[in-house]
């Protein structure tokens, strides 16, 4: 049997050091989770959500997939958002991309990647809509890729904001902000892209649902 014993040793040391600092930590945590934030980020191993935000276990509800996408066909992601909004009552949803994202690069390169092409279709559409802007404003592959990484985050903010569960929360007067961030693996720093959504009226008219 393969046991990955190094990870278990690390885990024991980690649990011990947490308990040394705060003897009630796990006892408290086992009673309930009350995170204020939902993080939707890339599955990339270099972007560990809780760690880069300096938060402890229990402070952030996390969903990660290739290229931080919110697809209406993804029951997993939709369930996470539904649970976070309706049950955990988070006040902030952060969609965080990262520069140099391989999933975004897949869409930019337009190569046949098999199943992945279906997954990154939304990014391909974002590229299609913005390719003139990207090609004119950005010199070189790296810059184009990073701009598309940013535009992908902006698209996901809109996807999240258009979800019925989010619009319904806004309609009910809930305090719920959708943030778009990007992370730089090169220096470990986060940047807010500044396209927050906080109410139905910020959505394009055609996406606004009528709850009356």
So which residues are the catalytic ones? 42, 44, 46, 98, 101
Q: Residue 46 Cβ, how far from Co ion at the closest point, in Å?
A: 9
Is there a contact between 89 and 37 (Cβ–Cβ < 8 Å)?
no
User: End-to-end alpha-carbon separation of the chain, Å?
Assistant: 59
The residue among 101 and 163 lying less far from Co ion, judged by its C-beta, is 101
The residue among 42 and 176 lying less far from Co ion, judged by its C-beta, is 42
Shortest CA distance to 105 belongs to which of 57, 60, 73, 144? 144
The residue among 44 and 154 lying less far from Co ion, judged by its C-beta, is 44
Q: Residue 42 Cβ, how far from Co ion at the closest point, in Å?
A: 3
The rounded distance, in Å, linking the Cα atoms of 155 and 162 is: 11
What is the SS3 assignment for 96?
strand
The rounded distance, in Å, linking the Cα atoms of 181 and 150 is: 8
Q: Residue 7 Cβ, how far from Co ion at the closest point, in Å?
A: 23
Q: Return residues touching Co ion (CB under 5 A).
A: 42, 44, 101
């Amino acid at each position: 049997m393969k046991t990955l014993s190094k990870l278990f040793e690390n885990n024991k040391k980690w649990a011990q050091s947490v308990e040394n600092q705060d003897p009630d930590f796990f006892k408290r945590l086992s009673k309930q989770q009350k995170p204020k934030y939902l993080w939707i980020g890339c599955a990339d191993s270099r972007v560990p959500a809780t760690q880069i935000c300096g938060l402890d276990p229990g402070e952030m509800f996390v969903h990660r997939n290739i290229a931080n996408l919110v697809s209406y066909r993804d029951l997993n992601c939709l369930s996470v958002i539904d649970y976070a909004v309706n049950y955990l009552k988070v006040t902030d949803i952060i969609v965080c991309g990262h520069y140099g994202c391989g999933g975004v690069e897949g869409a930019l390169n337009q190569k046949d990647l098999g199943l992945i092409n279906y997954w990154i279709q939304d990014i391909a559409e974002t590229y299609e809509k913005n390719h003139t802007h990207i090609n004119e404003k950005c010199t070189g592959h790296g810059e184009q890729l990073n701009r598309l990484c940013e535009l992908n985050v902006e698209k996901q903010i809109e996807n999240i904001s258009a979800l019925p569960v989010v619009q319904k929360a806004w309609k009910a007067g809930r305090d719920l902000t959708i943030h778009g961030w990007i992370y730089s693996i090169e220096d470990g720093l986060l940047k807010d892209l500044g396209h927050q959504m906080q109410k139905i009226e910020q959505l394009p008219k055609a996406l606004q649902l009528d709850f009356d």
